[in-house]
Amino acid sequence: MRFFDPHIHVTSRTTDDLERMAAAGVRAIIEPAFWVGQPRTTAGSFVDYFASLLGWERFRAAQFGIAHYCAIGLNSKEANNESLAREVLELLPRFALKEGVVAIGEIGFDEITAAEERAYVAQVQLAREHDMVVMVHSPHRDKKRGIRRSLDIARELGFPMEKLVIDHNNEETVAGTLEAGAWAAFTIYPHTKMGSERMLEIVKKYGPERVIVDSSADWGVSDPLAVPRTAKLMLERGIAPEVVERVTWQNALEAYGQSGQIDAEALLCKPAIDQRQLFADNSVLRGQEPRVEGGVPN
């Protein structure tokens, strides 16, 4: 099977992870801009970060046969540093309209503050102006209220629900997200919160329509193989293969394919890998023999 992990922060992961993901069938990923673990102090840090998502990280994933797309946005945590937030919001259009950007994201609420709301409104408006998809991060605390607010604001701004992906849903929020007409994404965390078992029950109860599974793997305790692992469990527990395919491949492709940035045909081919390539004179290899392969349909 092939998988699409539409939320993973691979800049925090190693080449071992990329190799294991490709071997497990992960063909395509989306890396949304997010919080890097400590607050950035200047807009220049965001400039370099966004540039790395569009450049080096895209190259690095491709070196292991994984198509890399990204989402550009100001995360909710750092929206609370309002003077910096204003600068970052101003520079977003420079990056958000580039090739390989499939959404504005991840944006939304963390502590559900007025500053977070201002940044969210500005970015949903930017997405609407440019007919883009929005990837919404939902808060870990007070999740239900955060999601409700994200949906209400998008609706008030006239943003189309079919272009809104609400992420990090759980059993308490899934019905509201789906009823609103948005896509409901779920992050599978190892040992906690949303595990594969709970995801299986959600798919049984709500079906696969507009339901998306992702890993959100980052610098914290997380699992870059969460999508293939969850698919395996679903198949073992008797979920129909076409249902598993929808929630681990097709739905993400449809939701983010609305950007016009994803070549779905090309993703059906075994990816071409050419590790002789360089990015700004930089290679992922350290003296190893370069792999050169692929590019044929399978």
List residues binding Zn ion (CB under 5 A).
34, 216
Q: Give whichever of 34 and 120 is closer to Zn ion, judged by the CB atom.
A: 34
Alpha helices in the chain (DSSP H): 15-23, 43-54, 56-62, 82-96, 114-129, 143-156, 174-180, 196-206, 226-236, 241-245, 251-257, 264-267
Smallest gap from Cβ 9 to Zn ion, in A, equals 6
Q: Give whichever of 37 and 158 is closer to Zn ion, judged by the CB atom.
A: 37
Smallest gap from Cβ 166 to Zn ion, in A, equals 13
Residue given tokens 């305790």 in the structure block: 221
Residue given tokens 């979920």 in the structure block: 239
Q: Give whichever of 76 and 216 is closer to Zn ion, judged by the CB atom.
A: 216
Smallest gap from Cβ 230 to Zn ion, in A, equals 17
Smallest gap from Cβ 32 to Zn ion, in A, equals 6
Q: Which two tokens stand for residue 132?
A: 């883009």
Alpha helices in 181-225 (DSSP H): 196-206
Q: Give whichever of 173 and 216 is closer to Zn ion, judged by the CB atom.
A: 216
Q: Give whichever of 138 and 216 is closer to Zn ion, judged by the CB atom.
A: 216
Distance (Å, whole) CA 126 – CA 131: 8
- Going by their DSSP bridges, the two strands 273-274 and 292-293 should be labelled as antiparallel
Ramachandran region of residue 179, left (φ > 0), alpha (ψ -120 to 50) or beta?
alpha
What one-character-per-residue DSSP string does 215-261 give?
----SSS--TTHHHHHHHHHHHTT--HHHHHIIIIIHHHHHHHTTS-
Smallest gap from Cβ 281 to Zn ion, in A, equals 30
Q: Give whichever of 9 and 149 is closer to Zn ion, judged by the CB atom.
A: 9
Smallest gap from Cβ 205 to Zn ion, in A, equals 25
Q: Which of 32, 68, 24 is nearest to 218 (CA)?
A: 32
